[in-house]
Amino acid sequence: MEYFYELYTGLPRGGPGDNMSTRKAFSYMVDLPVKPLILDIGCGPGMQTIELAKLSRGSIIALDNYQPFLDELMNNAKREGFQKNIIPKLQSMHEMDFEEETFDVIWSEGALYFLGFKKGLDECHRLLKTDGYLAVTEGVYLKPNIPQAVVDFWEPEYPDIKDIKSNIELIEAADFELLSHFTLPESSWLDSFYDPMEKRIKLLKEKYKDNKTALKVFETAGHEIDVFKKYSDYFGYEFFVMKKNK
């Protein structure tokens, strides 16, 4: 994992996304308290966390299991004047110990799948106040007849990937009202994630040119980028925004 984390450390984002999409998802949360309490699950380096602080002016618990990501987040938050809005918490999402009905909003961009989407929905439902909001991006298939190369890529990474309709059914079964959903644009994958990652892969391959273990990690990441560039019509991230039913 050390090479994986070294690859991701310093990237603008820990996964696909962009501030415009974060703002769009947040815009559906129309009746929030003046200063909502927000949980950002799997915040990574926290570009979206800072954007949430700007949008909400509330308090955000930024949860991640890798301290350097939290350090980077807080350094950037301090630079932008929002460090007082963000509370970093070093904890795995598998070990969350919050009380039931704690949060006005739960946010998770590209991370909730580590719990599994169904389990993640159930856990968020438990932690949200009545009428609380959940916004999450989830990997989805966008078309039928998925090419085998795409299946081969996703099967070991996330065998539970589904199409949009199947995820909506899970959302409704988990007692949420779906407010909106939209597919992240291709630029969300490239501008702040894959493009800077490609540059980092090149540097790290040179740094570890005699280390087979490290090179395997970087080659796998490069393959991920290649699959997306070739088959992005068939899969992507869907932003689901929902409200906990009473």
71, part of any domain: yes
Q: Residues 196, 202, 206, 209: is their CA dihedral positive or negative?
A: positive
Q: What is the CATH number of the domain that holds 87?
A: 3.40.50.150
For residue 34, which phi and psi values (nearest 5 degrees)? -60, -40
Q: What is the pLDDT of residue 83?
A: 97
Q: How many domains does the chain have?
A: 1
Q: Structural domain of residue 104, as residue ranges?
A: 15-188+233-244
176, part of any domain: yes
193, part of any domain: no
Return the closest-CA partner of residue 122 out of 96, 161, 91: 96
Residue 180: helix, strand or coil by DSSP?
strand
72, part of any domain: yes
**What are the pLDDT tens digits along the chain (246 aa)?**
899 999 998 899 999 999 999 999 999 999 999 999 999 999 999 999 999 999 999 999 999 999 999 999 999 999 999 999 999 999 999 999 999 999 999 999 999 999 999 999 999 999 999 999 999 999 999 999 999 999 999 999 899 999 999 999 999 999 999 999 999 999 999 999 999 999 999 999 999 999 999 999 999 999 999 999 999 999 999 999 999 997
